Amino acid sequence: MTNLTVDGARIGYRTEGSGPGLVFVHGTGPGSVIWRGFAERFAGRNTVILPDLSGSDPVEDDGGELTVEALTRQLAAVIEDTGRGPVDVLGFSLGAVVALSLAATRPDLVRRLIPVAGWSHTEDEYLRNALEIWHRLGGDSAGFARFSMLTGFSRRHLNEIGRDAVEELAAYFVSTPNRLRQVDLNRRVDIRHLLPLIQAPTLVIGTARDALIPVETSRDLHASIPGSSYAELDAGHVAYLERPEEFDKLVRDFTA
């Protein structure tokens, strides 16, 4: 693990493999650990870069309000520190928001861009209310965990994996102060003004069965990013776990 200090926050990143740089940016949750078992698939052809940004469990900071701008500066600092830029950047959920912001404000660092299950604003009433409920459940750790699980995975997937695995997932998504900081930022996202500035070749990936971030938000991203491509997976929010082979192929084909 390599550690950096950015704006007073002590963040970190790790790398695996060799070759062109490919960054996986985590969303709301514990951090880069969410990519365990998936990012390693690319280590044979890429230098996989796995940052932990503020709000993730390993990061030490002042515990204050998170902003897209601060997380973008942290991601930029990680890429610069690796010396691998420009790199391909894949961002999931809140990580998609940060990746989009980076591509718009630091085009020198982004070769190709893949936002997954992302959004650009919260004026959509479904999304606004879903995020509001998620945040309000912060005081009920068990309720927060089950809501996170239900909105993270499709009904089909939960039934496929069975009750024991579902209960294990529910225990994984418990509420923490850092997770609530991330959810609070989710509620305040508005990067619409940045989307027309994105120059990097972009593949927007939507998730058709997403109960948290409606798939229409990914379609809107595609429509707002000049020259972008679009693909849609028949999966819930955490598509790389529900449909790993299809997800893998999309990423490999686009970054080849």
Catalytic residue numbers?
Answer: 93, 210, 237
Kind of pairing between the strands at 2-6 and 9-16: antiparallel
Structure tokens at 138: 């912060």
Residue type, 41: R
What is the separation, in whole angstroms, between the first and last Cα of the chain? 27
How many CB atoms sit inside 10 A of residue 18's CB?
Answer: 11
Contacts 24+ apart (CB under 8 A), 243-249: 244/38, 247/38, 247/205, 248/38, 248/41
| Integer Cα distance of 97 and 186 in angstroms | 9
Sheet holding 110-116, edge to edge: 2-6, 9-16, 47-52, 21-25, 87-92, 110-116, 203-207, 229-233
Backbone angles phi, psi at 193, to 5 degrees: -70, -15
Report how far apart, in Å, the C-alpha atoms of 188 and of each of 68, 127, 128, 225 are.
9, 11, 9, 21
Phi, psi angle pair for 122, to nearest 5°: -120, 30
Mapped onto helix, strand or coil, the DSSP state of residue 235 is coil
Q: Can you list the positions of beta strands (E) in 103-210?
A: 110-116, 203-207
